Amino acid sequence: MKKIALAAVAVLGLGLVACQDNAPDNAVSTENTIETEAAADTNAALDANLGATADNALDAAGNAVENAGNSIENAADDIANGQDNVAGQ
């Protein structure tokens, strides 16, 4: 009878060890998951902003080139108009 009682106590003891509280480990795991997801969100936002910044820089460069072309065209028109004015006097 003692052997059965000892076996029962051993089985119950193992059962209690298996059912230990994992709350601290789970809390750390949850915190790590939250930090990882936050870092991923931050990186995605930064990537999107860098893409938008690059697009804006390219647009600005394109506008500058277009404006320079317009200035050259206007200068050519001014020269032509000046020549017409001199010829008409």
Alpha-carbon 24 to chain mean position: 31
Rounded-to-integer distance, Cα 67 and Cα 76, Å:
14
Specify the higher pLDDT residue, 78 or 24. 78
| Single pTM value for the model | 0.46
Residue 7 has pLDDT above 70, yes or no: no
List the domain boundaries for the chain: 50-89
Average pLDDT over residues 3-31: 64
Q: What are phi and psi of 21, to 5 degrees?
A: -75, 120
Tokens at 69, concatenated: 């072309």
Q: For residue 70, what pLDDT is reported?
A: 92
pLDDT tens digits for 22-65? 666 667 777 888 888 888 888 888 877 788 888 889 999 999 99
Which tokens hold the place of 32?
């790590």
Q: What percent of the chain has pLDDT over 90?
A: 20
Residue 59 parent element (H or E):
helix 23-88
